[in-house]
């Protein structure tokens, strides 16, 4: 690695970039690393990458052939089922009725969504959320008042503290209070 880094720095390449590229090659399994003694040895066989690519190609082609055979079998099964169960007038009528029922169901679901705001569970969840929000707002109000007290103790001037809160936090301490 040191030899590679020296050669790279002579050609103007940053040492860290060399380390990153070598690590990425190791992660991608294009270069192998073995620790021998206290040093790491990096190596790769010239034909290894093409052998891996050819192997992957052979697996992909075998998978493609298997999928083609499966598609042919499924198409035959579909044709067989269509032959055994031809489309009848009753089946066509039921299909039309099903699509109409689906459309009506969709409109009823949309109408039901309109009334979801008066659902007791939704209302209770909103009330619970409001209680949690109120508690959180009061906690932050406590924090603001503690900061105000600390600032008044440090500065000693209540007017400058009010101006600071008004300019920095847009908080008017004259009207700022807990949520009731």
**DSSP string of 54-116?**
HHHHHHHHHHHHHHHHHHHHHHHHHHHHHHHSPPPHHHHHHHHHHHHHHHHHHHHHHHHHHGG
pTM for the complete prediction? 0.37
Residue 116: pLDDT over 80? no
pLDDT of residue 73: 97
pLDDT tens-place string over residues 159-179: 888 888 888 878 887 788 888
pLDDT level of residue 67 (50, 70, 90 thresholds):
very high
Pairing of strands 32-36, 39-43: antiparallel
Residue 42: pLDDT over 90? no
pLDDT of residue 59: 96
Which residue carries 């209070």 as its tokens? 177
Kindly state the percentage of the chain with pLDDT values over 90: 27
Residues β-bridged to residue 35: 40
Are 31 and 22 a contacting pair, CB within 8 Å?
yes
pLDDT of residue 57: 95
Q: What is the mean pLDDT of residues 66-74?
A: 97
Average pLDDT, the chain: 87
Kindly state the percentage of the chain with pLDDT values over 70: 99
pLDDT of residue 120: 79
Whole-number Å distance between alpha carbons of 117 and 123? 7
Residues β-bridged to residue 33: 42
Q: What is the mean pLDDT of residues 47-71?
A: 93
pLDDT of residue 38: 84
Instruction: Give how far the C-alpha of residue 99 lies from the chain's centroid of Cα atoms, to the nearest Å.
Output: 35
Are 71 and 63 a contacting pair, CB within 8 Å?
no
Whole-number Å distance between alpha carbons of 149 and 146? 5
pLDDT tens-place string over residues 14-41: 888 888 888 898 888 888 888 888 888 8
Nearest Cα residue to 33 out of 25, 21, 43, 20:
43
Residue 88: pLDDT over 90? no
Whole-number Å distance between alpha carbons of 76 and 72? 6
pLDDT of residue 54: 92
pLDDT tens-place string over residues 136-150: 988 988 888 898 888
Helix (H) or strand (E) holding 6: helix 2-10
């Amino acid at each position: 690695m040191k030899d590679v880094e020296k050669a790279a720095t002579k050609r103007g390449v940053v040492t860290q970039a060399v380390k990153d590229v070598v690590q990425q090659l190791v992660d991608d399994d294009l270069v192998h690393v073995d620790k021998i003694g206290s040093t790491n040895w990096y190596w790769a066989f010239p034909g290894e990458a093409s052998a891996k690519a050819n192997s992957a190609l052979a697996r992909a082609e075998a998978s493609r052939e298997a999928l083609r055979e499966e598609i042919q079998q499924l198409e035959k099964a579909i044709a067989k089922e269509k032959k055994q169960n031809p489309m009848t007038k009753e089946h066509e009528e039921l299909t039309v009725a099903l699509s109409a029922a689906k459309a009506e169901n969709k409109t009823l679901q949309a109408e039901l969504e309109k009334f979801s705001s008066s659902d007791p569970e939704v209302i209770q969840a909103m009330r619970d959320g409001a209680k949690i929000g109120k508690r959180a707002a009061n906690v932050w109000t406590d924090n603001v008042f503690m900061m105000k007290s600390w600032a008044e103790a440090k500065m000693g001037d209540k007017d400058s503290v009010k101006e600071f809160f008004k300019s920095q936090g847009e908080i008017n301490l004259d009207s700022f209070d807990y949520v009731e």
